[in-house]
């Protein structure tokens, strides 16, 4: 099985002015594509060569002899998920039902937004901030470094914000907090997030 770069769920300029086509052309067209290309090279002749992306991730997670495979496979998955977490004219609030679940889990909508932003801003170096459903069905926040992702920890990803510098540097320079604010206010695709439950 050759892994493919999945198409973006919108046009390259659909997230402007918040995330520019220039950023997406590098982030999607270069970074995401490189993970796909590298993964396919690493899997040539490997026992996992014909496995699904999720099978590759779960089979390589935590194995020191498969770090390269895990990193590239997880980053292919993470980026595909991240693109779907955004849409043109996104942000705002989810459905009343889902908002109620979030408020119950985090003690209020504004508290959730503040805690999600804090997770994204305080992730040291490169990584991801996530809203997840854990094995008990509870909503929680998680931050992961580099390529790490919720499925490797038995959790279901609902929402993610990419905080690798290449996700925001061309548009926001070193202002990660502004990027995360913009992501939450104008970009989150709550319909997609809820569909992951």
For residue range 28-86, what is the model confidence (pLDDT) as tens digits?
A: 999 999 999 999 999 999 999 999 999 999 999 999 999 999 999 999 999 999 999 99
Which position has the token pair 């790490």?
Answer: 148
* DSSP conformational letter for 154: T
Rg for the chain (alpha carbons), in Å?
Answer: 17
User: Is the distance from CB of 145 to CB of 125 less than 8 angstroms?
Assistant: yes
Q: Is 144 a residue whose pLDDT tops 80?
A: yes
pLDDT score of 15: 98
Provide CB contacts within 8 A for 87, sequence distance 6+: 9, 10, 14, 15, 187, 189, 191, 192
Spell out the long-range contacts of 115-124 with Cβ–Cβ below 8 A and sequence spacing 24 or more.
Answer: 115/141, 116/141, 116/159, 116/161, 116/180, 116/184, 117/177, 117/180, 117/181, 117/184, 119/143, 120/161, 120/163, 120/176, 120/180, 120/183, 121/163, 121/176, 121/177, 121/180, 123/163
Q: How far is the C-alpha of 82 from the C-alpha of 168, rounded, in Å?
A: 13
Domain ranges of the chain: 21-84, 96-195
Q: Is 166 annotated as a binding residue?
A: yes
pLDDT score of 4: 96
Q: Is 162 annotated as a binding residue?
A: yes
Does 96-195 match 21-84 at the fold level?
A: no
pLDDT score of 100: 97
* DSSP conformational letter for 188: B
pLDDT score of 179: 98
Q: Is 46 annotated as a binding residue?
A: no
Q: Is 1 a residue whose pLDDT tops 70?
A: no
Which position has the token pair 């590759």?
Answer: 56
Arithmetic mean of pLDDT, 103-112: 98
Q: Is 31 annotated as a binding residue?
A: no
The pLDDT > 70 percentage for the chain reads: 99
Arithmetic mean of pLDDT, 11-27: 97
Q: Superfamily for 96-195?
A: Iron/manganese superoxide dismutase, C-terminal domain (3.55.40.20)
pTM comes to 0.97
Q: How far is the C-alpha of 197 from the C-alpha of 38, rounded, in Å?
A: 31
Whole-number mean pLDDT of the chain? 97
Pick one of 1.10.287.990, 1.10.150.130, 3.40.190.10, 1.10.3720.10 as the CATH number of 21-84: 1.10.287.990
How far from each other are the two terminal CA atoms of the chain, in whole angstroms? 28
């Amino acid at each position: 099985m050759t892994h493919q770069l999945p198409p973006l769920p919108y046009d390259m300029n659909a997230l402007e002015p918040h995330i520019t086509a220039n950023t997406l052309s590098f982030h999607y067209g270069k970074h995401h594509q490189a993970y796909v290309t590298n993964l396919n090279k690493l899997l040539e002749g490997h026992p996992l060569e014909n496995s699904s992306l999720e099978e590759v991730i779960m089979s390589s997670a935590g194995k020191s002899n498969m770090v390269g495979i895990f990193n590239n496979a997880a980053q292919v998955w993470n980026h595909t998920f991240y693109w779907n977490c955004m849409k043109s004219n996104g942000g705002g609030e989810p459905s009343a039902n889902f908002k109620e679940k979030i408020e119950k889990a985090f003690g209020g909508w504004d508290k959730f937004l503040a805690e999600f932003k804090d997770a994204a801003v305080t992730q040291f170096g490169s990584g991801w901030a996530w809203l997840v459903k854990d094995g008990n069905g509870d909503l929680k926040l998680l931050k992961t470094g580099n390529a790490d992702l919720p499925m490797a920890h038995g959790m279901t990803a609902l929402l993610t914000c990419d905080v690798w510098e290449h996700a925001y540097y061309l548009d926001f320079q070193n202002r990660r907090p502004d990027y995360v604010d913009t992501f939450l206010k104008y970009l989150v695709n709550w319909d997609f997030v809820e569909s992951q439950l």
